Structure 1
Amino acid sequence: MSSFGPVLPGEPDEPAEASEPAGAREPAADPAVGFEPVEFTVDLTSHEMLRRTHALAALGPDWDPVAALRGEQEAYDLLYSGLDAEQQRVYDELVAAGVLPRRGGGHAAA
């Protein structure tokens, strides 16, 4: 029996109806395709757990998620500091629209 694709005529595990003449069988659901669609699912749960394990191993035992988050917040504060008047206006519009969170005391420079 083929490990991939449909069972070919004459193979040991061929279903009995497959050996009937083509005219005796019911037509496929989609004549352009020539065969019935088959549901196909893949469970990647174990692969995802392995990926996470490798990612945490790559970060090392010294990785501190709280310090990383704090550093990210500091980087955002620097990103939005020292804006000129036009940049500040755009920043305020984005905050008002809910695109960016308000930082500091109502100004981009925190």
Structure 2
Amino acid sequence: MSQDSNSAHVIFEIDLTLEETRRRAAVMAALEPGWDPPAVMRGEEEAYDLLYSGLDERQQETYDMLVDAGVLPRRGPGHAAA
């Protein structure tokens, strides 16, 4: 921290590189050794498939409206009930 001699403002600088390194190390330490990112992604896709399956007509209209508005991502064939 320093003060500009021509100003009443105090210059405050901090390097977050070390803190980011510590944060990343803590995340990696918290993960289980058997953590499988592709399996996690598949599980999320399966959850979305289940969430958006079996929609009645009104629910499907709402889903389509949200997709068209960009609130929900468009899912591929077979993902949302037609």
**TM-score for the superposition, normalised by structure 1:** 0.59
1:80 to 52, 56, 74: 52
Aligned partners of 2:71, 2:19: CA distance in 1, in Å? 34
Rg larger in structure: 1
Q: CA RMSD in A?
A: 2.5
Give matches, 1:26-105, under 5 Å.
36-105=8-77
Q: Which runs of 5+ in 2 are unaligned?
A: 1-6
Deviates more, 1:96-105 or 1:79-88: 96-105
Aligned partners of 2:61, 2:71: CA distance in 1, in Å? 14
Higher RCO (C-alpha 8 Å, min separation 6): 2
Percent identity for Structure 1 against Structure 2:
64
Aligned pair in 2 of structure 1 residues 76, 104: CA closer, same or farther (>3 Å)?
same
Structure number having the greater strand percentage: 2
Aligned pair in 2 of structure 1 residues 43, 100: CA closer, same or farther (>3 Å)?
same
**TM-score for the superposition, normalised by structure 2:** 0.76
Question: What's the CA shift for 1:107?
Answer: 6.2
Structure number having the greater helix percentage: 2
| Aligned residue pairs, count | 78
Q: Which runs of 5+ in 1 are unaligned?
A: 1-28, 30-35
Aligned pair in 2 of structure 1 residues 93, 106: CA closer, same or farther (>3 Å)?
farther
